[in-house]
Chain A
């Protein structure tokens, strides 16, 4: 049986930030491999570089050295425009603070990624309606994000991130702004929907309990990653 190459491969990645006169190293000779369809939790303390890692993987930022491949595509060799297009098609993002588009309705927020990828159409309209109903927002299609509760906004963000069937879902502290009960419900949706769609998930969290629900847990520490028991 042919085995597919890993979805994410990072080799010898270095990333530093200049803060005034001081140079702060986030990653030095960093390696990471994540297989397709995996749900991987990335655990680390605040300031360990979790968000930086997500920015590098998504192509939002570039490393100072090293290579990053996503689904066999070396994104570090792409131009900014090409990386944007790649991210648009193949990556979904869920943020801690939701980052919904405040001037679009619930339905429009979900349709936006489809429109950006020229995938919008009547068939997709049904898909959107079904997804919103599945996460309990079927009757809030015409509402604006500011009219939703925190949990509802994050559910909407998850649907938006998955509607265009990306290869990879990146979630940055998705329950960090929610209470425990709401967070648990959101997490359940966050983990089940991609499993159904076969989407790889890289979930960044500082919570052991949340990390334990992933297939694999990686600990980010001192600029390096090592696998630990879930």
Chain B
């Protein structure tokens, strides 16, 4: 360790505090975004895991059934006929607290006598004279968590039940869980005669394997035995792609931060080039300079990481609500009560921040070490070296571009897609200096008629390419990220809007009110359907039943449909002959699957999928593949008659009503509300309100993306300020010479503004094609591989204009401080410096 060597380099940084602060801020913002997303994801995962643990307990396996569950009578047979002792029936679901709108609780209905081997957390019950058995003997009794008032009124669909506490669940892990008798839970969820599942305790080893074998042979075809954790994991996996994409977005913000670090460190090296050359002439070795420069960067990285950690904690506590809201909207119920600060997330965030700094500072440190002593005094040599390196940079950039293209073409995984994306961005950064030269030449021709200031400003950009080229490249990357993500989200929204407008083409949609509270299995009463068919003014009806089935171990939605002729137009077939496909569909011998499902399971028209029905496994050929954004995990369309036949379920979940041509929809709706509204609590929606609701969900989902995009813009803005301000501040002597030769302070101010404005404009302009390329990759590669759907590519002109406008604005702002400093300085003083 050579203290004077360190001091000679570090003091330079300390003498440029603005650069120091802005570069630390750049790192901090990048780390904050990554950490916040990771913490939010981790909190949501932990919330889900905790709630699943509450239900699963020590159960090793469970018996599950179809959409309605397991018949209660089967449990009796299991215990009596098969003599299976370690089994416990469970009815579980989510209900809303009537006095706390939006607050969901998980209700666990248990058999008190069978419960003990499965869930020991009930040991944490504090009872005021009551026992677990009180659940059996007292009506509407429940064990309530300490954070729920008593009595607790729960709402599940159109059913409301007030529960009295016979004990309190004290353990913090049980917050949000209500335990009650099975009968009470069945009444609450309308599942009389049915169970959600049956928990089993099966020993490990050969004995257990034999027991599983015997049980599976004994089970009726509509019931299945599965490991207890399997379904939880499968459910958790539903949101995996969403979490991964969030993480990738946050890494994009970090990548932008890395480019800014690279820019800052490169600039710091270039600024100290003469100093480095002098040190080399004195005998400081390359390794020593490399070590010191890299260590400097690490110090900055450490400061930025610490600051980013604090920012990330704050940001994460905000993001967690957005993340869990999206998961609730799209995937499954999760309730996050505490924002958990996972140590692993903190370590990951810190590690990434430091690694990113190291990676970004590596090349500048190498360049610093390579500063040849012989060239110390020759600025022209430095710039000529840069110019000479341009062909190599271009070659490297084109090579990386080719590599990324190959990755997109030949690979299939999401990780490879992201790797290709990052390589592509790197390639564009390498090609930027040459693009800057071209823009300068073009601008020189365009400004040939203008005065010397404009020509000087842009000519200087080309003359100082070692600095300006790097700065423009870094800024271009930052703004291209905002363009790319903006175009992707906009395209996605446009696709969803077109899809929902086509799909939801009936006049009125009717569903049980219970479905509003998440009771997706709720159905329309038979008399409602009878009355509906008899109602005048209706041209046609579509009937829907939505259930969850398992395909290759993964949960998938099955839609049992009886479609009105007009409804078919809402399902755009991407594969399969429409006429043949719908004919096969109508016969009930084939299914039509959604594009995401076909993509995930590598299915094509003609392939067959096997589904577990009440009659046992049955193969259904695929007659067509339709465009669908309703579920990233896929949906299966099956004719209702075939569903009734194979699943023995004639219920209808919802209905779409097509009004007769001369019928006023409002009048028809009134007629329906009077006619069928008295038979069952129903919700009736117009197609327009469903379309608006769908887009509202979409917008909510992408709120997080918008937040991350804003943060990326903030990082870019900070980067512009940092890079361009530093560039201008180091030209103090040059400005002094210009003033000494007769240029006024005002003219120099205009020169600075023109130059920074040109550089900002160049960065923003180059960000447009790169951003569009990025958008194309996000749409056609990343989204496709993550979710399996096809998106349109649509460009909103406002997003395109935003990038150069923001870049120029930031650039002009960056020039203000150097102009102010220059106008206050004494030219003679500046000329005295070496």
Q: Are A55 and B374 in contact (CB under 8 A)?
A: yes
Choose one: A58, A87, A88, A103; the contact of B7 (CB below 8 Å).
A103
Q: Are A116 and B2 in contact (CB under 8 A)?
A: yes
Give the complex CA separation of A99 and B277 in angstroms: 9
Of chain B, the residue at the smallest CB distance from A114 is B4
Against B, the Cβ 8 Å flags (1 = close, 0 = not) of A71-103 are 000000000110011011101010101111111
Q: Are A102 and B374 in contact (CB under 8 A)?
A: no
Interface assignment of B15: CB less than 8 Å from any CB of chain A = yes
Give residues 119-165 of A contacting B (CB, 8 Å): 145-146
Residues of chain A lying within 8 A (CB to CB) of residue B446? none
Q: Are A112 and B8 in contact (CB under 8 A)?
A: yes
Interface assignment of A197: CB less than 8 Å from any CB of chain B = no
Give the complex CA separation of A88 and B5 in angstroms: 14
Q: Are A88 and B283 in contact (CB under 8 A)?
A: yes
Of chain A, the residue at the smallest CB distance from B9 is A103
Of chain A, the residue at the smallest CB distance from B13 is A103
In angstroms, how far is the closest chain A Cβ from the Cβ of B832? 8
Choose one: B8, B283, B285, B372; the contact of A101 (CB below 8 Å).
B8
Against A, the Cβ 8 Å flags (1 = close, 0 = not) of B24-60 are 0000000000000000000000000000000000000
Residues of chain A lying within 8 A (CB to CB) of residue B8? 101, 103-104, 108, 112
In angstroms, how far is the closest chain A Cβ from the Cβ of B186? 79
Against A, the Cβ 8 Å flags (1 = close, 0 = not) of B86-100 are 000000000000000
Q: Are B285 and A146 in contact (CB under 8 A)?
A: no
Of chain A, the residue at the smallest CB distance from B272 is A103
Q: Are B834 and A101 in contact (CB under 8 A)?
A: no
Interface assignment of A64: CB less than 8 Å from any CB of chain B = no
Interface residue tally for chain A (C-beta within 8 Å): 31
Interface residue tally for chain B (C-beta within 8 Å): 31
Residues of chain A lying within 8 A (CB to CB) of residue B281? 58, 60, 87, 93, 95, 99
Q: Are A97 and B834 in contact (CB under 8 A)?
A: yes
Of chain A, the residue at the smallest CB distance from B832 is A146
Give the complex CA separation of A108 and B377 in angstroms: 22
Of chain A, the residue at the smallest CB distance from B288 is A116
Q: Are A60 and B372 in contact (CB under 8 A)?
A: yes
Residues of chain A lying within 8 A (CB to CB) of residue B4? 104, 108, 111-112, 115
Residues of chain B lying within 8 A (CB to CB) of residue A108? 4, 7-8
Q: Are A87 and B283 in contact (CB under 8 A)?
A: yes
In angstroms, how far is the closest chain B Cβ from the Cβ of A35? 24
Interface assignment of A61: CB less than 8 Å from any CB of chain B = yes
Choose one: B7, B275, B834; the contact of A146 (CB below 8 Å).
B834
Residues of chain B lying within 8 A (CB to CB) of residue A103? 7-12, 15, 275
Q: Are B374 and A101 in contact (CB under 8 A)?
A: no
Interface assignment of B833: CB less than 8 Å from any CB of chain A = yes
Q: Are B282 and A112 in contact (CB under 8 A)?
A: yes
Choose one: A55, A60, A102, A112; the contact of B5 (CB below 8 Å).
A112
Of chain A, the residue at the smallest CB distance from B274 is A99
Interface assignment of A49: CB less than 8 Å from any CB of chain B = no
Q: Are A97 and B283 in contact (CB under 8 A)?
A: no
Residues of chain A lying within 8 A (CB to CB) of residue B15? 103
Of chain A, the residue at the smallest CB distance from B833 is A146
Give the complex CA separation of A93 and B374 in angstroms: 12
Residues of chain A lying within 8 A (CB to CB) of residue B790? none
In angstroms, how far is the closest chain B Cβ from the Cβ of A210? 21
Of chain A, the residue at the smallest CB distance from B15 is A103
Q: Are A101 and B275 in contact (CB under 8 A)?
A: yes
Q: Are B275 and A115 in contact (CB under 8 A)?
A: no
Q: Are A104 and B7 in contact (CB under 8 A)?
A: yes
Q: Are A60 and B373 in contact (CB under 8 A)?
A: yes
Give the complex CA separation of A108 and B7 in angstroms: 9
Of chain B, the residue at the smallest CB distance from A170 is B281
Q: Are B833 and A88 in contact (CB under 8 A)?
A: no
Choose one: A58, A88, A104; the contact of B284 (CB below 8 Å).
A88
Interfacial residues, chain B to chain A (CB-CB below 8 A): 2-5, 7-12, 15, 274-275, 278-287, 372-374, 376-377, 832-834
Can you list 6 A-B pairs with a CB-CB distance of less than 8 A?
Answer: A85-B283, A87-B281, A101-B275, A116-B2, A116-B5, A116-B284
Q: Which 3 A-B pairs have the closest CB atoms?
A: A88-B283, A103-B11, A60-B373
